Structure formats: C-alpha cells, structure tokens
Amino acid sequence: MVHENVDNLRLDALSEVAAATSTAALKEVEAKFIGKNGSVSGLMKLLGQMKDPEEKKAFGKIVNDSKAEIAAAIEARSASLKDEELAIQFAEESIDITMPGRRPRVGYEHILQQTTNKIKRILGSLGFEYLEGPELEDFKYNFDALNYPPDHPAMDDQDTFYIDDDHLLRTQCTALQGRVFQTRKPPLRCFTVGRTYRNEAVDSTHNHTFHQVDCFMVDEGVSMAHLKGTLGAFARAMFGPEVNIRFRPDFFPFVEPGVDYAISTPKLKGGAWVELGGAGLIHPNILEAHGIDTKKYTGFAFGLGVERIPMMAYGVPDLRYFLENDLRFLQQFRHEPDLG
C-alpha cells in the first residue's frame, strides 16, 4: 500500500512536470514534490515506523529512485522551457537594425562656464597667467594676508563659513594673492576664476555660493593708469567697442587707493551705468609683508562677479536660476554671451 502511494505521487509529479508551461511553474512543481517539504521527500519520514530492516531498505530505495526520476524529468523539461522562453524574449526584444536610430542628446556647457571661458581668453590675451587656488582656504590667506584689520565685519561668523579656527570656505578669490606672493616675485600678471562662499541671506541678487574673477599685476611703475587701461581693454573685449568705464572712490582693505568701477554701453540697460566690481592699487602693507620692495614695485588688482555678466546680457532677474539646475532655464544658453 505504501509502495503504491510512492508510485502514485511519482506519476502525478511526472504529469505536472510535462504540463508545466514555464520555468517558474516548473520550480513550483519541484518544490511541491521533491523540495525540502515536498510530498515525495516527506515519505522518508515513514522509515521510522518500519521495523523490518529489509523493508526500510527497499522502501528507501523506491523513494530515492522516484525522486531521481522526477528530478531528471524536471531538468529535461527545464532545458526545453528555457529555450522556448529565450526564443520568445528574443522575438519581443528584437531590434530592426534598418530603422533610423534615436538622435543622441547633445550637452552644452553651463552658461557660467561659457562666461568663464570668455573671461579666460580675454585676460590670457592681455598677458595674464591663469592660476587656481583652493576653495577650502587658510584664514591667513583669506584675511590676514590681505591687510584686513582684526575687527573687520567680513571676518564675523555672519559672513564667513568657518570650518575651524584656521580654515574656511574662501569668501573671495583675492585669497590667491598671498599664495602667489609667497612663492613668486615680480614681475607678475595673474588671474583666477572660481567659486566663493559667504554666509548671506539668499535672494534674487545674493547667494551663499557665487563665482568671482580676481586679477592682479605687480611690476615697476604700475599705476592707476595701467589699471584703467587694462580694465578698459577687458571691458571692450567683453562688452563691445562702445563701452565706457567709470571709477568712483571706494574702500577695500587690500587696495589703496580703492575704487569701484562701472561700465556703460548702449547694448546693456539702455546705456545706464552698471557696477561690475572693485579695484585699486595693491596696498603697500601686503607687498611689504611678502618681502616685495614697494620703492621699486607697485601693483593693481581688480575683481568682479561672473554671474553679473550673463545676468546683464540676457536680462536674468534672479541670481539663483544659475545654480538650480533647471534644464528649462539652462537650455536657453547654448552659446556664450554675445555682448560685443
């Protein structure tokens, strides 16, 4: 009677194996009959009820032979089903190689990078060397080396992201000056373009992250006339030949005298004056602190915000648009600003 149960289960298993239409269904049949808790595998528990050793041996052999036969049938059926499923998959995923392909999407440089590229070309053509400084800057280069007094408000926590007492996220690219003066001697013509950070309230004209240009020159006999001539050449190359430049007195700890400079051109805001940045002659205290003879050498420096240029060129009303990564906004600017 027990042997008949084994045979019936074996026949049921073989029948369900043959009827399986997928490898997933076949795995269910395998678990049902010869899995750990399968009906055929479970027959081995009956061995504990048998007293006769010969009967145990014969019954165990029948069960194992049945399991082996079912496993062989499953393996054969699985190979056949895999071939069928693979053929169906190939048919469903086939590609017509005669059809035209999808046109690949073309990326464009960010508008701020396009503006930076133009700035680099112009200042490079004027003989200035491009250098880079770290964004995680030493306190001494960001403030001490630039003649900041200890009580200057820019050194407060409200304006600066401090990492620790000696390190901060640079608030200005002018921090490069001290690093250059420490390793090089005049004559020098250098500039940098990079990201700067200030702990400011974010609005349409202010952001905690922005880009800045800093340019400086140290040589014999450098004067405000050289500064104005250099800024004039830069402005005409950047904004067109009709541009005018205006200097007005201003104060910065690292220059003396200091000025803010603005431009006026019919192509921007109807010829209204637009302030670009600050400039002046490098403060003698800075040069002397780095062993540069101020009786022989003088220098000028100027800086400006990169974002201001495309904002003026395209009438962008909000500084935040440049860093929000909205493709609807960025895809408008596939070419560098044409201001001249």
- Kindly write down the DSSP assignment for every residue of 320-340, as one continuous string: GGGGS--HHHHTT--S-----
Cα–Cα distances in Å, from 336 out to 109, 122, 213, 244, 329? 9, 13, 17, 22, 15
d(CA 202, CA 230): 33
Strands 255-264 and 274-282: antiparallel
Phi-psi region of 139 (alpha: psi -120 to 50; beta: other; left: phi over 0): alpha
d(CA 152, CA 248): 22
Q: What is the pLDDT of residues 21-78, one digit of tens each?
A: 888 887 887 888 777 777 777 667 766 677 777 777 777 777 777 778 888 888 888 8
Which candidate, 188, 159, 182, places its Cα nearest to that of 171? 159
Radius of gyration of the chain (CA): 39
Cα–Cα distances in Å, from 21 out to 34, 72, 93, 269? 19, 17, 21, 74
pLDDT at 189: 96
State which amino acid sits at residue 246.
R
Cα–Cα distances in Å, from 140 out to 165, 196, 232, 284? 11, 16, 32, 17
* Beta-carbon count within 10 A of 14 CB: 19
d(CA 285, CA 267): 40
pTM: 0.67
Highest mean pLDDT among 13-27, 103-117, 279-293: 279-293
Evaluate if residue 261 carries a pLDDT over 80.
yes
Q: Classify 286 as helix, strand or coil.
A: helix
Which candidate, 204, 198, 193, places its Cα nearest to that of 306? 193
Report, as an integer, the average pLDDT of 123-149. Answer: 92
Which candidate, 252, 238, 237, places its Cα nearest to that of 282? 252
Confidence of residue 204 (pLDDT cuts 50, 70, 90): confident
Helix (H) or strand (E) holding 247: strand 244-250
% pLDDT > 70, the chain = 91
Q: Which two tokens stand for residue 190?
A: 């250098």
Start-to-end CA span in the chain (Å): 102
Which candidate, 245, 84, 255, places its Cα nearest to that of 177? 255
Highest mean pLDDT among 222-231, 244-253, 263-272, 330-339: 222-231
Q: Are 248 and 263 in contact (CB under 8 A)?
A: no
Helix (H) or strand (E) holding 79: helix 53-92
d(CA 276, CA 305): 7
pLDDT at 138: 94
Least confident range of 12-26, 69-83, 144-158, 207-221: 144-158
d(CA 248, CA 259): 5
* Beta-carbon count within 10 A of 184 CB: 14
CA atoms within 13 A on the CB side of 57: 3
Q: Comparing 210 with 10, which gets the higher pLDDT?
A: 210
Cα–Cα distances in Å, from 207 out to 126, 195, 204? 31, 11, 8
What is the DSSP-derived secondary structure letter of residue 44?
A: G
pLDDT at 48: 65
Q: Which residues contact 274 (CB under 8 A, 6 or more apart)?
A: 262, 263, 264, 268, 308, 312
Highest mean pLDDT among 68-82, 139-153, 220-234: 220-234
d(CA 44, CA 53): 14
